[in-house]
Structure 1
Amino acid sequence: MSNGAKRGGGLLVAGTTSDAGKSVVTAGICRWLSRQGVKVAPFKAQNMSLNSFVTREGAEIGRAQAMQAQAARVEPTALMNPVLLKPGSDRSSQVVLLGKPVGEMSARGYHGGRQEQLLGVVTDCLEELRGTYDAVICEGAGSPAEINLRRTDIVNMGIARAARFPVVVVGDIDRGGVFASFFGTTALLSPEDQSLIAGYLVNKFRGDVSLLEPGMEMLRGLTGRATYGVLPYRHGLGIDEEDGLRVSLRGAVRESVVAPPVGEDVLRVAVCAVPLMSNFTDVDALAAEPGVVVRFVDRPEELTDADLVVVPGTRGTVKALAWLRERGLADALAARAAAGRPVLGICGGFQVLGERIEDEVESRAGTVDGLGLLPVRVRFEREKTLARPVGSALGEAVEGYEIHHGVAEVLGGTPFLDGCRVGEVWGTHWHGSLESDGFRRAFLREVAAAAGRRFVPAADTSFGELRERQLDLLGDLIEEHADTAALLGLIEGGAPTGLPFLPPGAP
């Protein structure tokens, strides 16, 4: 490293639970190291997520790893997330290996047979990154203390053991019980795994840190391990979240905190929270606009006051179509279209707005009637489209990315990106298009005009700059509230030696 740490070092960020803050902490460490002139890369051996991204090489990886690569100021690649699992139901997922889908597999089948082979793949990817970068910051998944899965683990202690990386465990104190979680997580591990648990990071703390100090001292006395920092609670840091399945519908609002509306009115956006919702991060660029309020909804009456309704991507297009009909949302969307009120379908949401879907791949449901709001017919192919298209719409340059099995045959309407527009119903396969500032502003002007709102998009909102500011905030959290010298020491030298073993159940 340019600041004295040796080439090829690293660290694994684990968590006491899912959503403890591993992704945010990993991104924060990457941004902090990048500021120090360290050439750093993120890594997550195995990710389960419906929010994914397409790299410039045409590989599909988790959006969280793409965000962490941006935090590290490097180009994301498939090496950074070699295994991506995309749930299609409670019991099966599509397996994406090195950026390409290799088939569907049940949870039992996945954990029962492929792990030894996959461990070789992920360790090879990690070693390639270590040969290129000064440091690699790995993110774990769930908890390393999921002892029912330890034998087949390739993302937590499995990869830490293979690389001999020290592990810092993150705990969300906002949930409560963080000290018990730290102790229990450590105590449940084998002696070999415990030898790599270097210490802990408290996340999402509200209040006076001095009140925590007695607990941290007691924890050190019980475990022999230090707490490397207490990160304060910060709103608006859950960028590029991994799982759309966990979006809470009631009160789920993404509202601009940048500034009040530029015009006289706000613009209200309702996002249909379809089953297996994917890449719901598409609407983050809308929520970044001053005066735009974005809500996730699941009832037709919630569309009544919406100026724009978005039908987002989904890993289950036919399932989402049935859900829209069962909930009465399909009729509400048809009524909006007839009244000339704006609707935008993205990827799977675009597909359900069409006339017909032929699916022998994803749902194997055969031919299914769509909502008939766009003159489009969709046929699912086994080969997945993974692309980074560029183009123009509404007189503005647009960039996006495509992730879909469905191939759309557009039979009419006005061309719109790779899809079409009929009246105020718009459809495209392009994720991320709303991050193009000029296009987003032009689109919102069209929506406001159709909705009769005196809404004016801000002329200077840059989604890219806002994202950079968020990533800088993550770096600030680490730099200002973590023991960065100790973290750098772990990255350089590995876990401290002589750490005590805690027999399970011991005080």
Structure 2
Amino acid sequence: MTAKFLMIQGTTSDSGKTTLVMALCRIFADMGYKVAPFKSQNMSLNSFVNKEGFEIARSQVLQAQAARIEPQPAHNPVLLKPKGNNTSQIILMGKPFADYKVREYYPIYIPKLIPHIKKSLEKLSQTNDVVIIEGAGSPAEINLADHEIANMFVAKLVKSPVVIVGDIDKGGVFASIYGTVELVKEDEKPLIKAYIVNKFRGDESLLTSGLVMLSEKLNMPCLGVLPYINDLYLPAEDSLDIKETRKLRNINIGVIRLPKISNFTDFEPFLAENDVSLEYCIKPHQLKNKDLIIIPGTKNTISDLNWMKENGFFDEVSLLEKQGAIILGICGGFQMLGQKIIDKGIEENLIKEYNGLGLLPTTAEFKDYDKITHQISAKVINIPNLEGQIIKGYEIHMGIIKNGPNLKTFLEYEDKNLLKKNYSLGIYNESMSTFGTFLHGIWENDLFRKEFLSFVASHHNKQFVETKTSHNEIVEQNIDKVATIVRKHLDLQELCKIVGLEMGNKEK
């Protein structure tokens, strides 16, 4: 089997490439094709661990879900995770590869990454009917044209037709599409076959004359004008996409918006609960009136710990815990809740000891442990109404937690081998006011989410009225919603002609 390829590139970041690729994955899957997403290089702090323990970007996981397949490292061979101070971590084929400074990336690391990108494309080509490739940023970044590995480099590797997407909501869409095509290299222009206008609000007929002129100038068709879609409930790719509901409701949750916040998709399931408000807080005073305060994951625990101290969050969180708020830390936030964090050269390259919030009698220790990345099943214990529940999630972290006295476990590994290692997965203090866990994706477990919110409500003498929702069902409904809109507004017959596929009777 040799797959057909289609590449979606954008005039800018946030032009809608990720969502369009997701929709096309669902559309081609519904046609009966075996389809896979691909993005050679993604930069994101929202990642996911697949069943084999490989870490890839959340956006490619969403696209794989749309294609109705399991996510794999070949879908996103290179994931860059910014750590601060012009340093990022390279996740290569799902595993940590190296930390690099910005100036080192192009001359030193890109030559080492290219073979893995090629192998991933070969693997996907051999096992699929069609591979839909997402570009990164814009192909018109001419300062990087000789070094990039995410746009025309990939298109030329597999001779993929390219469709350019422009975001009209930001303005200047005709100039941005025209300029993008004109700025790519002459030998790359023949690969660009069409363009799409995205995120349009209003009367489409007003665009007609402009589209006719643009198509004449570029000598290529417009495949469609996609409308702006409101109220989408899909996992966010980066911090530009953070969604919240600030209006106070019966249960009010505050997530501290750390500078290096990661995996904030953990909290999106709260958005489906009508009785819950969710606010990302950048100032300590925003935490007042919050029933549940969450310290999220972070790509740099020490840096964000110091930021919390310097900006008054330590004092405010400690005060609010004494006044009755429930505090919960996930991953890096869990590590911050303890007495101390000992960094033996992992994050700061020097052995240092830092004071944590002191709300849990624990010590977090970073040293030469392998990065822990795996999916897990866990049993809930020692929490009323949740006892014995089996929940699923995943771990992505460095370091371990050493427990002190007077702690209770509320999450216990089902895997006996992990249980024997006595790793802390989820614990709380005597007063049940402070919880810590390494489990990402915990709130996607619908029954656990609703029962825990009921526990928070009862702690504050409130009542929680659950919304009859399933997180995964809502995501599926939204994938189908976008796919339906794209089907309606895109010339799929022309797109299939560009790709070299038949629509025929395979369309559902």
Q: TM-score surpassing 0.5?
A: yes
Superimposed CA distance per residue, residues 123-162 of structure 1 (whole angstroms, 9 cap, x where no aligned partner): 2101100110111111111111111111111110000000
Q: CA 1:153–1:431 in structure 2 vs 1: closer, same or farther (change >3 Å)?
A: same
State the Cα distance separating 1:455 from its structure 2 match.
Answer: 2.0
- Report the equivalent of 1:287: 271
SS for the counterpart of 1:400 is strand
Larger relative contact order (C-alpha < 8 A, sep ≥ 6)? 1
The range that moved more, 287-296 or 39-48, is 287-296
Q: For 1:127, which of 122, 127, 131 is the aligned residue? A: 122
Shift of 1:238: 6.6
Q: Does 1:419 align with 2:426?
A: yes
1:226-275 deviations in Å (ceiling 9; x for gaps): 1111111112337222223x367xxx62479xxxx9xxx62211111001
How many residue pairs align between the two structures?
477
Give the equivalent residue in structure 1 for 2:135.
140
Contact 1:308 1:343 in 2 (8 A): yes
Q: Amino acid of the residue matched to residue 384 of structure 1?
A: K
Secondary structure of the 1:461 match is coil
Residue 492 of structure 2 corresponds to 484
Q: Distance in 2 between matches of 1:44 and 1:254?
A: 31
Q: Counterpart in 1 of 2:224? A: 229
Identity, in percent, stands at 41
Matches within 5 A, 1:363-402: 363-364=348-349, 366-382=352-368, 383-393=370-380, 394-395=386-387, 396-402=389-395
What residue identity is the alignment partner of 2:390? A
TM-score normalised to the size of structure 1? 0.91
Maintained 8 Å contact 2:233/2:475: no
Cα offsets for 1:356-390 (capped at 9, x unmatched): 11122123352111111112211113410001111
Match of 2:340 among 356, 371, 375: 356
Any conservation in 1 of the 2:138–2:151 contact (CA below 8 Å)? Answer: yes
| Alignment-mate amino acid for residue 427 of structure 2 | C
CA RMSD of aligned residues (A): 1.8
One-letter amino acid matched to 2:392: E
Within 5 Å, give how 1:403-418 maps onto structure 2: 403-412=396-405, 413-417=407-411, 418=425
The one-letter code sitting in structure 2 at the alignment partner of 1:315 is: K
Q: Is the 8 A contact 2:454 2:463 kept in 1?
A: no
Structure 1 unaligned regions, length at least 5 = 1-5, 495-507
Secondary structure of the structure 1 residue equivalent to 2:398: strand
One-letter amino acid matched to 1:136: V
The question of whether the paired residues in 2 share the 8 Å contact of 1:424 and 1:450 is answered with: no
CA offset at residue 406 of structure 1?
2.0
2:458 equivalent to 1:474: no
One-letter amino acid matched to 1:428:
T
Structure 2 CA distance, aligned partners of 1:364 and 1:44?
32
Give structure 2 stretches of 5+ with no counterpart: 381-385, 412-424, 503-508
User: Which of 234-243 and 336-345 deviates more?
Assistant: 234-243
Q: After superposition, what is the alpha-carbon deviation per residue over 1:39-69, rounded to whole angstroms, capped at 9, x for unaligned?
A: 1011110010000000111100000000110
Counterpart pick for 1:453 among 457, 462, 472: 462
Q: 1:63 aligns with which of 42, 50, 58?
A: 58
Residues 86-485 of structure 1: pairs in structure 2 closer than 5 A? 86-89=81-84, 91-237=86-232, 239-244=234-239, 246=240, 253-254=244-245, 266-359=250-343, 360-364=345-349, 366-382=352-368, 383-393=370-380, 394-395=386-387, 396-412=389-405, 413-417=407-411, 418-422=425-429, 423-458=432-467, 460-485=468-493
Give secondary structure in 1 for the equivalent of 2:500.
Answer: helix
TM-score w.r.t. length of structure 2: 0.91
* In structure 2, distance between residues paired with 1:114 and 1:298: 35
* Partner Cα separation in structure 1 for residue 442 and residue 501 of structure 2: 43
Does 2:55 correspond to 1:54? no
Q: Distance in 1 between matches of 2:109 and 2:354?
A: 35
Deviations 1:2-25 (A, max 9, x none): xxxx95001111111111111101
SS at structure 1 position matched to 2:84: coil
Partner of 2:232: helix, strand, or coil? coil
- How far, CA to CA, are the matches of 1:254 and 1:58 in structure 2? 33
Q: Distance in 2 between matches of 1:481 and 1:363?
A: 51
